[in-house]
Amino acid sequence: MAVALATTGWAASVPGLYEAEVAVDKDTQAQRAAAFSEAMGQVLIRVTGRPEAAAMEETADLRRAAERYVQQYRLKPDGNLWVAFDSLALDAALAERGLPIWGAERPAVLLVLAVDQGGGARFVLSSEDEVPDRAAQELRDRMTALANDRGLPLILPLMDAQDRSVISFGEVWGGFDQALQTAGERYGTDAVLLGRLSADAEFRTRWTLYSGDQAYRWTGGLEDGISGTSDRFAQRYAVTTGAAVEGEVGLAVHGVSSLEDYGRVLAYLEGLTAVRSVQVRTLRDDTVVFGLELIGSVENVDRAIRLGSLLGSDESGAPEASAPDLPGMRRVLLSYRLSSP
């Protein structure tokens, strides 16, 4: 799966979360069954956000019966078997097992990786090289593949004149992180992952993840940089059905001034992983109150919305003042304002 990002505000929509490719020797029934199982393991890791998901006892039957969830498959010219699973059926199976589901809207991460190869060879990894560099290309391919494995939207800096005014090897290596934290603004990313990779330390890397006002630091290999970042975001944004709220939750959206606005908001809310169903409850002036039935928590919904750009914070007052209480609905707990296109 190659991650082609559709960036909206601070989030990226990651396609192909339920797809995988597996190498096969021959296109036989036995080979396909084994490939389906391996592909299911890859997808489970990506969709749950848990690296252990492919080996958990709770998912053993899903891997054994992977073919039941296959929606499409085809043998590619390179000999790989491409598999796409039924997302709705697989989500339902994960929910039955109490496992988290991490939706397609995920925090985009700018990777700023300073590399000391020894012998005076130093560089900051960029999205492309001015002069072809085999070592840089191999490292770029490696980081991209690791991010794809976890469904993590990863962006590399261009390292053009604008970037070089903020990002330099010395700044990254010396730990002058304050200026580097703003580097993600150019690329519309939610977080900045800084890495310091040294050949002298057997290519161990010092990692720092900046997300909002939080900073996380750890040391490990290249894979640990991606897995550490993905694990932290999955913990925050993945939805677990055990946290579901009973009854409808009210969500008010202000600034809805046209039928097009209404359609955009409704489609957006229906697409949130933590939302099972959406009903329109009241319309008053430019405010629409929706009743949401959740499979996750109110916090799951709020975090997902804040990650995107369609709905912004509402400064008009307390959420419960947005609309009257309605039968069967908890008070209006969430209130937002539709952002300008």
Count of domains observed in the chain: 3
Q: Decide: 51 and 45 in contact? Cβ < 8 Å.
A: yes
The pLDDT > 90 percentage for the chain reads: 70
In a domain, 301, yes or no: yes
Quote the pLDDT of residue 9: 45
pLDDT of 249-271, one tens digit each? 999 999 999 999 999 999 999 99
Whether residues 129 and 232 fall in one domain = yes
pLDDT of 274-298, one tens digit each? 999 999 999 999 999 999 999 888 9
In a domain, 1, yes or no: no
Whether residues 127 and 168 fall in one domain = yes
Summary count for the chain: helices (H), strands (E): 11, 17
Whether residues 124 and 232 fall in one domain = yes
Residue 42 identity: Q
Quote the pLDDT of residue 1: 43
Residues 237, 304: Cα–Cα separation, whole Å: 7
Nearest to 245 by CA among 212, 182, 294: 294
Nearest to 336 by CA among 270, 269, 248, 273: 269
Whether residues 52 and 162 fall in one domain = no
Nearest to 87 by CA among 105, 103, 74, 111: 103
Phi, psi angle pair for 239, to nearest 5°: -105, 130
Residue 195 has pLDDT above 60, yes or no: yes
- Final residue of a structural domain among 212, 237, 262: 237
In a domain, 2, yes or no: no
Quote the pLDDT of residue 181: 79
Whether residues 232 and 245 fall in one domain = no
User: What's 290's domain CATH number?
Assistant: 3.30.70
In a domain, 32, yes or no: yes
In a domain, 48, yes or no: yes
Residues 284, 273: Cα–Cα separation, whole Å: 27
pLDDT of 3-56, one tens digit each? 434 444 457 889 999 999 999 988 789 999 999 999 999 999 999 999 999 999
pLDDT of 151-188, one tens digit each? 999 999 999 999 998 899 999 998 887 778 778 888 98
Nearest to 200 by CA among 119, 111, 97: 119
- Final residue of a structural domain among 203, 219, 237: 237
In a domain, 232, yes or no: yes
Residue 322 has pLDDT above 50, yes or no: no
Whether residues 230 and 109 fall in one domain = yes
Whether residues 114 and 226 fall in one domain = yes
Whether residues 205 and 276 fall in one domain = no
Letter string b/e over residues 155-180, b meaning 16 or more CB atoms within 10 A of that residue's CB: bbbebeeebeebbbeebbbeeeeeeb
pTM for the structure as a whole: 0.86
User: What's 190's domain CATH number?
Assistant: 3.40.50.800
Residues 55, 61: Cα–Cα separation, whole Å: 11
Quote the pLDDT of residue 330: 57
Domain that holds residue 324: 241-338
- Final residue of a structural domain among 28, 61, 96: 96
Whether residues 159 and 222 fall in one domain = yes
Whether residues 118 and 191 fall in one domain = yes
In a domain, 186, yes or no: yes
Quote the pLDDT of residue 7: 41
Quote the pLDDT of residue 328: 52
Comparing 50-59, 192-201, 224-233, the range with the smallest average pLDDT is 192-201
Q: How confident is the model at residue 320 (pLDDT cuts 50, 70, 90)?
A: very low
pLDDT of 54-77, one tens digit each? 999 999 999 999 999 999 999 999
In a domain, 26, yes or no: yes
Residues 209, 193: Cα–Cα separation, whole Å: 4
Greatest mean pLDDT among 119-133, 137-151, 184-198, 323-337 lies in 137-151
Whether residues 75 and 124 fall in one domain = no
Q: How confident is the model at residue 316 (pLDDT cuts 50, 70, 90)?
A: low
Whether residues 245 and 232 fall in one domain = no
